Structure 1
Amino acid sequence: MKYIIIVGGELHNKGAQAMTYTVVDQVKKNHPNKKVVLFSEIYNDRDKLEEKKLNFDIFYFPARAKMDILGFGYISKFGLKEYLKLLIKGTGVSSDKLEKIKNIIKNADAMIDISGYALSSQRGYFASMNYLYNIMIAKKYSIPMNLLPQSFGPFHYTPKEMRKLKPLIKEYLEYPEVIFAREEDGIENLKTVGIENVRKSFDIVLQGDKEYDVSNIFKIPSNSVSLEVTIEKNSIGIIPNQQIMSHGSSTELFEIYNSIIDFIIKKGKRVYLINHSTLDLEICKKIKASFSNEDNVILIEQELNCIEINSVLKKLDFIIASRYHAIVHSYKLGIPALVFGWAVKYKELLKAVNQEQYLFDVRESIEQKKLTSALDHLIMNYNQETVVIEEKLNNLNKHSVFEDIKVRY
């Protein structure tokens, strides 16, 4: 059996889950004779429960297991202190699982990294090293390495960290034939550490088929969707993000949500509060508490997988969102979005589909009049914006990144 290994993917939030499901689906469609496996650095009890339903194998793959596979010869790269931790604490993986992982690596025809955002000083030194370990393993075993669209940088490490990391980044990021950066910002950041084999490409999820072949993902396809709520017509979804509360004023943002909902209800629309991550459920509950007696504000407490979220999104007029991959999901279906964001990835995403007028930066004071005007325009013109989004995506997706994945035959 020959394998294609996915690294950097997880199941713990819907963005990571969507990227994982999309890549599993597309790789199985394009390489039906290979077995797809996920090596994940996060593998909790909920993931174990979910794995029972999934039609691909998942292996816990922490940093110390990677160091064990690389071996003593790489001690100068990961450092004596980290190697001593491996000797004292072990790999964190049972011996039988580790043997299975090693066998898969020896029989792998490709490794695909789908980290959304891992190689950056903002994620920290150890996260960056952990990211590089995957490429070290691929190079050691001559496995074709693919870095699918993701964010890179900035690389503002301490001087000591930079002395260690810069040559490693240079050495190992030259191993993949091509690196796909999600933003222009990432391309420029990689140039600062001497990496030139980079191409711009859009988010992985946007490049997958509009509908998943759920048999590629779930053992029993009917288990993929189990909605406990009916989405009515003339409805708008609100998908908050707990992270925006740290980038902007939480008091101001809750006031904005309340004013938005008041405006929407007066326009004769319903509002569905949707959590795209379990971390966001409390925000949804707090918003609903302000409208506890309003039947047209519906809280969806059910934890939805990304396929169920697609089923909800396609029934909405548009969404008001801060979760990046909720917006990506929405655009993939041709559903417009009014966006509260803060990072460059939001700006580049909306620019790509000609939707910049609907982006509001939470780091700045949001002008209520401008926000209401954008919201009103979207309520009146969401069908026209759908046409704009779909036309832009059709142009962007004439060539898919999945056609460029390097696989050994």
Structure 2
Amino acid sequence: MHKILITGGNFINKGAQSMLFCLVDSLKTKYPESEIVMIDLFPTLKVEDKDKYNFRIVNMHIRTVLRMAFPVIKLIVKPKPISNPEKEIKSHFATADLILDISGYGVSSHNQSPLWTYATLFPVKLARKKNIPFVFLPQSIGPFDFKGWKKLVIWPLVKKYLSYPKAIFIREPECRVYTDKIRKEGVIDSFDLVLQSPKINLNHIYCEDQQDLKANEVNHKSVIVVPNKQLTKLKTKQEVVVLFSGLINELLQNGEQVAIVRHSNDDKTLCDEIYREVDHSDVQLVNRDLSPYEIQQIFDDSKAVVTARYHGLIHALKLSKPCLVIGWANKYKHVMKSFHMDEYQFDIRNIDESKMKASLMQLVQNEEEISTLITNKLKEIKATDIFNYIR
């Protein structure tokens, strides 16, 4: 039996969950005898929560990363109770045959603490020490514009550990500008893992059958709206609330039904505030912790999706749903351009609201034509299989 470790996934963000489930499903389909172990760097699951999944979940809290990386820290930093024992974690890394990372956006100088970049690189360090093959599955890499002490400390680690993996799959061509500073070989263009994957066999994910969504939770042919708290780092929260409520009111005035759907735990408060701002009987709010399967059900019955979450976009496209995107990063632009939907992608930093509202109504009115275009592109994407490389 082979042991395959998965790093970079978590249960906080639905995009991360979706990538995890797609990967587990594909691995169990192709390598049914292998042991699949997910190492969770952002642990939220207790023992009883882990038991419902049909693969092993090992919690490795950031404190554990620091304690394992710098033993002297053990004198002042106690392990987090939710984390698995360090001896057990070391054993999994020591006995792994392959490690696959699905961080999504882990190695970067942009908009994140260097601690998280180091946490993403730490499994590579352990793999390198034991000479275990390591692959970064499709994600955004870079930029590496480190300044001050970060340039002296973090940048050398990035260069060292990004040189080790057998392959780095990048989701956007712009990432190659950054990886070229480190390596030219083994950097492969690829679409998001969720977009490439077939329909998931839930028996590969859960130990028991999953119940369907409650009947009529979201009205048939609603336009789904997916906010993102991260937008409030670029605009004030009130500006973001007004922006979304304006789009929703535009839809309502044109006779559309709308559902505000939470895609990440971080977005709970923002969803509530947008719902209160609109205050209309034709707007539904789904603000509970949905599984990726439940999100898929909601999207599958929708007319179109307005999303500020990257994997909200990916989930919608996977189901051939027309999308209007409010984002800022290259990952949004690249996907929308690849699907010939540039005119429906808007940068939060310089939005023309009247143009965006007009584009939204055009999107809804041309729903069937756009859906066909998306379906044709999906066939092209799924013609290649990322797991051919891994095998």
What CA distance in whole angstroms lies between the structure 2 residues aligned with 1:185 and 1:106? 34
Does structure 1 conserve the Cα–Cα contact (< 8 Å) formed by 2:197 and 2:382?
A: no
Does structure 1 conserve the Cα–Cα contact (< 8 Å) formed by 2:220 and 2:302?
A: yes
Of stretches 194-203 and 359-368 in structure 1, the one that deviates more from structure 2 is 194-203
Could you say which residue in structure 2 is the equivalent of 1:359? 345
Trace 1:2-401 onto structure 2 (pairs within 5 A). 2-44=2-44, 46=45, 48-63=47-62, 65-66=64-65, 82-89=70-77, 92=80, 97-122=85-110, 123-194=112-183, 196-209=185-198, 211-223=199-211, 225-227=212-214, 229-292=216-279, 294-368=280-354, 370-401=355-386
Structure 1: which amino acid aligns with 2:58?
F
Q: What is the CA distance between 1:60 and its match in structure 2?
A: 1.3
1:315-353 C-alpha deviation (Å, 9 max, x unpaired): 001111101111111101111111111111110111111
Q: What is the CA distance between 1:15 and its match in structure 2?
A: 1.1
What CA distance in whole angstroms lies between the structure 2 residues aligned with 1:102 and 1:228? 45
Task: Specify the SS of the correspondent of 1:357.
Answer: helix
What CA distance in whole angstroms lies between the structure 2 residues aligned with 1:221 and 1:286? 35
What CA distance in whole angstroms lies between the structure 1 residues aligned with 2:83 and 2:351? 54
Does structure 1 conserve the Cα–Cα contact (< 8 Å) formed by 2:163 and 2:182?
A: no
Does structure 1 conserve the Cα–Cα contact (< 8 Å) formed by 2:64 and 2:83?
A: no
Q: What is the CA distance between 1:151 and its match in structure 2?
A: 1.1
Structure 1: which amino acid aligns with 2:379?
N
What CA distance in whole angstroms lies between the structure 2 residues aligned with 1:143 and 1:68? 22
Question: Displaced runs of 4+ in structure 1, greater than 6 A?
Answer: 93-96
Does structure 2 conserve the Cα–Cα contact (< 8 Å) formed by 1:173 and 1:195?
A: no
Could you say which residue in structure 1 is the equivalent of 2:389? 404
Does structure 1 conserve the Cα–Cα contact (< 8 Å) formed by 2:53 and 2:206?
A: yes
In structure 1, runs of 5+ residues without a counterpart are: 70-77
Structure 1: which amino acid aligns with 2:173?
E
Q: What is the CA distance between 1:47 and its match in structure 2?
A: 5.5
Does structure 1 conserve the Cα–Cα contact (< 8 Å) formed by 2:59 and 2:82?
A: no
In structure 2, runs of 5+ residues without a counterpart are: none
Q: What is the CA distance between 1:364 and its match in structure 2?
A: 0.6
Q: What is the CA distance between 1:268 and its match in structure 2?
A: 2.2
Does structure 2 conserve the Cα–Cα contact (< 8 Å) formed by 1:228 and 1:302?
A: no
Q: What is the CA distance between 1:287 and its match in structure 2?
A: 2.2
Task: Specify the SS of the correspondent of 1:18.
Answer: helix
Does structure 1 conserve the Cα–Cα contact (< 8 Å) formed by 2:213 and 2:297?
A: no
CA shift in 2, pair 1:43/1:249, >3 Å: closer
* Aligned-CA RMSD value: 2.3
CA shift in 2, pair 1:50/1:96, >3 Å: closer
What CA distance in whole angstroms lies between the structure 1 residues aligned with 2:240 and 2:203? 40
What CA distance in whole angstroms lies between the structure 1 residues aligned with 2:313 and 2:81? 36
Task: Specify the SS of the correspondent of 1:32.
Answer: coil
1:360-409 C-alpha deviation (Å, 9 max, x unpaired): 111014231x1222112111111111111111121122112222225xxx
What CA distance in whole angstroms lies between the structure 1 residues aligned with 2:22 and 2:47? 20
Does structure 2 conserve the Cα–Cα contact (< 8 Å) formed by 1:190 and 1:196?
A: no
Task: Specify the SS of the correspondent of 1:243.
Answer: helix
TM normalised by structure 1 equals: 0.88
Task: Specify the SS of the correspondent of 1:111.
Answer: strand
Task: Specify the SS of the correspondent of 2:263.
Answer: coil
Structure 2: which amino acid aligns with 1:51?
K
1:273-297 C-alpha deviation (Å, 9 max, x unpaired): 11111222222222222343x3211
1:87-125 C-alpha deviation (Å, 9 max, x unpaired): 443555799833333333233111001101111123333
Task: Specify the SS of the correspondent of 2:191.
Answer: coil
Aligned length: 390
Structure 2: which amino acid aligns with 1:58?
I
What CA distance in whole angstroms lies between the structure 1 residues aligned with 2:4 and 2:209? 22
